[in-house]
Structure 1
Amino acid sequence: MSLTTLRRVAQCGLTRNIVPSTSSGLACPIRHASTAEQIKKRLYDSSVLRLPMPTRDVETLNRRLQFRLNDRNIVGIVRLWTTAIENGVRPNAVSYDTMLKVIASYGLFDLTVKIFEDMLKMKVGDKQQGLNYVLESAAADPSLEAKAFKMFEEHGCSWNEITYQHILEALARRENVEMAVQVLSEMFEKGITPNVQSIQTVICLAAQMGMPQFAMEMAIKAERFPGVNTDQVRMAVLMSGAETMNANVVQKAWDYIRRTRCPPTEPLCVEILNTAARHGLPELARSVLEYLQESSQEIQEHHLAAVIGSYAVAGQIRDAYLALDLFKDHRVKFLPESVSGLVEVIDRSSETLDNAWDVLTQLPRPVNIEAVNTTIEAATNLSDMQRAIGIYKELPDLEVSPDAQTFDILLGGCLSISHAELGERLYQDMLSNQIRPTLQTYSRLILLALTQETYESAFSRLEEIKGRNMIPPQRVYEALVQRCVEEGDPRAELALEDMEICGYRVSTGLRDYLLKSQKKQDTANEAMAWVKSVSS
């Protein structure tokens, strides 16, 4: 009922005393004041509001410590411990062990020592285990470790396998492989069998520090200790081997990982593929490619390039050529760099080029144009333009048509021998085959023109590039500027202005060249002035 309604009722004299009805079954009992303890008890017993009861016995303390230990709740643990002590709870061995375990894991040395000393005063708990917790809390700090070792002496405790475990973990933090191996050997000499964690620590440390062969040898020796060679340890060895391109380690570790179905990441697979390409291991490369497909990962250019490279380095040129079809199979865009490994193998000598050509002619028809382009590029790298043109003329027999990359490679070969006439003929062939010139085509035609005595065609090609809404590369502009400066051509300044419009900055090499040319010009001007003064 609103305040306005109440006022109206009062004005009309309709108000009456309201008394509790005794006839209704819903009559509420009279509530009397409760003591603080009664209120607190009702709150604790409420099914709606659950407040934690104070910790008044050691069993409750241990249960709550374990709960917070599982949650890694360091603040809650310290608060619970302090409150329980204030409430008169006397911790037992389990309480101290749980408390020391979590405090030590956070590297709280002073607090760990304090709790350990309190445990000794209470005459409960394991002194040896407590000292191990103190050592763990030193967190690889040499000064704190020295204090912990001194405490071992003061309490007359020797080192056990847990002590050595913490020592090895500290050495791993400091990345001291040599000392870690020495400590592990010392354990065997003293008749102390290292636990699983200690051996794993040394293996993973060696792997982390780029010693995959040593890590793998340790893992093999540790096979007599059950539980050491976990998937995590094997993966650490594999990652180390792939990072250092250790073929022996990578092959063995990869076989194990594939058997256990432990999923390696895509970046790790790339490193393994690079290892396969470096050492010529096509079976390893194909296995990694199969895994990428099985795990539904997108196949990319660098994956396939490594597969082709592995065949090439292994000397399996035919398989390398055939592997080029993988780009079409996986719908991956082919890049000229994709066959760099194959080109490096073919262009080693004329003999390797001849062998590659023989393999190429025996491939099923039609031959992949990328295989042909690769062979032509190898020939141009050897400056064997006669062989390159010969391969180009054999395209009809190979039942394949040239593409823009074919002509760009051939123009690059013409540029290497400054053969402008051949370059122009190839350009006309390109147009007659209705192949659209690329930016690289025009760039190489310009650079080729600049090698000739007359270089006017370079400027016309430059205008063609602009007419096709392409941006000329910086190297083309710089070559134009240098040639114009050499010839005293004023168009050098126009070329520099064009560079600026395109957003290019003058490179260090061009700047040094221009400064050197200016000094030469100044010297020439001074010499001419001196000659004129002497003559007069």
Structure 2
Amino acid sequence: MLASTSRNSLKRVSKKATLWSSQSECSVVLPVSFFRCQSTQQQVATKSAPRSGSSAIRNKPWSFVPDQTFQGTARHSAIARYQFRSTGLANHKKTVDAIRMCREMKEEGVKPDIIIYNNLLACLAEDCQVLEAWATVEDMASMGIAPDRHTFHHLIHASRRLQSSAMWDIIEKMNAENIPPNEQTYQLMIQRFTAGENLEFALQCIYEMGTRGLVLELTIAQDVIRLAAELGFPRLALNLAENFEATSVRRLSPETWMRCLASSAEALYTEGVQRCWQKVVDLNITPDEGLCLDVLHTAGRHGLSDLATDVIRVLRNLGADWQEHHFAPLVEALCNAGKLKDAFGTLDLMRSSNIFPTVTTTQPIYDVLKQDINKVDSAWELLDKLRSEGKTIDRTAINAIIRAAISLSDLQRAVGAYKAFPDYKCVPDIDTFNSLLSGCIVASHRELGDRLLLELKELGIKPDATTYERIIILCLTQVTYEDAFFYLEEMKAQKFVPPRSVYDAIIRTCVAAGDSRYTLALDELKQCGYTVSNSLQKFIDSGGRESQSRS
């Protein structure tokens, strides 16, 4: 078997040797370079491997000696060298060097072509040298070179700081040369309009591109979307963004979606905020705290409780410290969504996070409860459910119920809510007593007001300016109002500046009762820097007979 294999191998080698000999016979038609290589390899073969008498088969690889005198490529022409040089100057925006190159070409007698002219125009366009650019075009015409689409593009770019009429003149010249605009043409036009905040013309160019079947470039689309968002058109910006991604394989940058989200949040555009927020979450982008607050306000206004909850989560991931102004929109969103129980529960969550709810925080709860007395009663059922679930009832929740009852002129329910504090293991605060005192004013219930002041002192709660203001006005509702002056002096002793409403009420009461002490109150009002309103002055001049609303 080995012998037969050797015979077959010798046959194949002999056939190749015959083929090589036939190729050497036809070497007269091969180029010179092949002859040099062949002669070189023959010389090397002769020196390195002498022919054997027994066999003509070579058993070593061919060796080649490099020929340094051989020129493999032809020299570049002068025009080619200047084309390459002008392209580099245009890429680096070296206008002065490009002009010097043109002078060298003139001295050498090299005629420029369309490539060199366009590279020169590119340099001039970057510097907005419009006159020089048009002079270059005229020189092209004198040389018998017709402008192409790139020529007009450079002219449009050079005239970007002129009025739009200059650009339209260039477009007309393009049409006269039967050069239709392409994507780059519209790109230059849209860039000009977006730089001038001319959104209408930018949209018109986008529409014309669609009718011509041209594709909008990514950066240009982002510029138009950004402009629409900044000008306060969030719906338009969002529609442009979604339409671009639906018709293109490319995707907008995260910054573009953030701009759409910010514009929608500033305009309280519900649908835009929801869609953009979902897109931002899908892209794993973390908005800043300011943008999160804007989104929270939109969620609170329109009752988007799920969105508000997600924003609170993002704020925690962002590393921002939770504050009262973060949870206030969440409470509002829950109330507007009809989730009053969750709103009450959020107050406990805030307190457990060392965030103290205020009257402003519970304002949305108050707005819901004050609509109907039945809603006030149903609020107690919600609090009982939370208590049965092991949740802690925050005192601001009961304060909201008290305020709602007083707004419905139901002082009895308000007092009943005040007495329910121990049942929910809560302690009233100064806002509780201030709300009850306002109810006493409406009912002219001085006795209840005195009892509330006594309990306030027993709890060790220090009265604030609002407390003194309401107790003074409560005293003025009585026939004997001497205590009003006592509390006024006590208020000043506590370093509180009496508000204008206090002096207004005292002056009106004294004038109506013929009490000359109104002049003292009037002097103090002026000393505090307040001005006498027209209605109050008319009331004083009429001796209290003219009924005017309190200013």
The alignment's TM-score, normalised by the length of structure 2, stands at 0.73
Identity of aligned residues (%): 31
Given the superposition, is the C-alpha separation of residues 401 and 143 from structure 1 closer, same or farther in structure 2, using an over 3 Å criterion? same
Given the superposition, is the C-alpha separation of residues 434 and 302 from structure 1 closer, same or farther in structure 2, using an over 3 Å criterion? same
Residue number in structure 2 paired with 1:286? 309
Residue number in structure 1 paired with 2:461? 435
In 2, are the aligned partners of 1:366 and 1:400 still within 8 Å (CA)? no
Show structure 2 runs of 5+ residues with no match. 1-80, 547-551
**What are the within-5 Å matches in structure 2 for residues 208-287 of structure 1?**
208-222=230-244, 223-287=246-310
In 1, are the aligned partners of 2:174 and 2:180 still within 8 Å (CA)? yes
Residue number in structure 2 paired with 1:321? 344
Q: Which amino acid aligns with 2:314?
A: Y
- Matched residues in 1 for 2:459 and 2:406: separation? 22
How far did residue 433 of structure 1 move?
2.0
In 1, are the aligned partners of 2:152 and 2:170 still within 8 Å (CA)? yes
| 1:499 pairs with one of 522, 525, 549 | 525
In 1, are the aligned partners of 2:511 and 2:540 still within 8 Å (CA)? no
| 1:163 pairs with one of 180, 185, 188 | 185
Superimposed CA distance per residue, residues 411-439 of structure 1 (whole angstroms, 9 cap, x where no aligned partner): 12223343333222222221122221122
Q: Which amino acid aligns with 1:258?
A: V
How many residue pairs get aligned? The number is: 457
- Matched residues in 2 for 1:98 and 1:447: separation? 84
Further displaced range: 474-483 or 395-404: 474-483
Matched position secondary structure for 1:367: coil
How far did residue 224 of structure 1 move?
2.7
- Matched residues in 1 for 2:455 and 2:311: separation? 42
How far did residue 466 of structure 1 move?
1.5
Q: Which amino acid aligns with 2:469?
A: S
Q: Which amino acid aligns with 2:481?
A: Y
Quote the RMSD (CA, aligned, Å): 3.4
Matched position secondary structure for 1:193: coil
Further displaced range: 86-95 or 460-469: 86-95
Residue number in structure 2 paired with 1:385? 411
- Matched residues in 2 for 1:486 and 1:124: separation? 99
| 1:187 pairs with one of 169, 193, 209 | 209
Residue number in structure 2 paired with 1:134? 155
2:400 matches 1:374: yes
Residue number in structure 1 paired with 2:494? 468
Given the superposition, is the C-alpha separation of residues 61 and 134 from structure 1 closer, same or farther in structure 2, using an over 3 Å criterion? closer
Residue number in structure 1 paired with 2:218? 196
Q: Which amino acid aligns with 1:342?
A: I
Superimposed CA distance per residue, residues 361-415 of structure 1 (whole angstroms, 9 cap, x where no aligned partner): 3223642111111222222222222211111111111111111111112112223
The alignment's TM-score, normalised by the length of structure 1, stands at 0.75
Further displaced range: 108-117 or 455-464: 108-117
2:361 matches 1:335: no
| 2:372 pairs with one of 349, 365, 385 | 349
Given the superposition, is the C-alpha separation of residues 462 and 207 from structure 1 closer, same or farther in structure 2, using an over 3 Å criterion? same
How far did residue 334 of structure 1 move?
3.4
Matched position secondary structure for 1:325: helix
Given the superposition, is the C-alpha separation of residues 327 and 81 from structure 1 closer, same or farther in structure 2, using an over 3 Å criterion? farther
- Matched residues in 1 for 2:380 and 2:146: separation? 80
In 2, are the aligned partners of 1:200 and 1:228 still within 8 Å (CA)? no
Further displaced range: 315-324 or 155-164: 155-164
How far did residue 117 of structure 1 move?
5.1
Q: Which amino acid aligns with 2:150?
A: Q
How far did residue 86 of structure 1 move?
5.7
Given the superposition, is the C-alpha separation of residues 426 and 113 from structure 1 closer, same or farther in structure 2, using an over 3 Å criterion? farther
How far did residue 58 of structure 1 move?
7.1
Q: Which amino acid aligns with 1:224?
A: T
Matched position secondary structure for 1:363: helix
Superimposed CA distance per residue, residues 203-226 of structure 1 (whole angstroms, 9 cap, x where no aligned partner): 334433433334333333322302
Residue number in structure 1 paired with 2:173? 151
Residue number in structure 2 paired with 1:311? 334
Given the superposition, is the C-alpha separation of residues 308 and 490 from structure 1 closer, same or farther in structure 2, using an over 3 Å criterion? same
In 1, are the aligned partners of 2:98 and 2:123 still within 8 Å (CA)? no
Superimposed CA distance per residue, residues 467-503 of structure 1 (whole angstroms, 9 cap, x where no aligned partner): 222222233233323333433433333223333443x
In 2, are the aligned partners of 1:231 and 1:262 still within 8 Å (CA)? yes
In 1, are the aligned partners of 2:229 and 2:263 still within 8 Å (CA)? yes
Given the superposition, is the C-alpha separation of residues 88 and 183 from structure 1 closer, same or farther in structure 2, using an over 3 Å criterion? closer
Q: Which amino acid aligns with 2:175?
A: E
Superimposed CA distance per residue, residues 72-116 of structure 1 (whole angstroms, 9 cap, x where no aligned partner): xxxxx4555555556669988777667655764676644554555
- Matched residues in 2 for 1:371 and 1:357: separation? 10
Superimposed CA distance per residue, residues 166-213 of structure 1 (whole angstroms, 9 cap, x where no aligned partner): 333444455555554444233222233333344434433443343333
- Matched residues in 2 for 1:447 and 1:78: separation? 81
- Matched residues in 1 for 2:139 and 2:356: separation? 70
In 2, are the aligned partners of 1:203 and 1:233 still within 8 Å (CA)? yes
Given the superposition, is the C-alpha separation of residues 118 and 347 from structure 1 closer, same or farther in structure 2, using an over 3 Å criterion? farther
- Matched residues in 2 for 1:411 and 1:280: separation? 33
In 2, are the aligned partners of 1:140 and 1:170 still within 8 Å (CA)? no
How far did residue 119 of structure 1 move?
6.4
2:536 matches 1:511: no
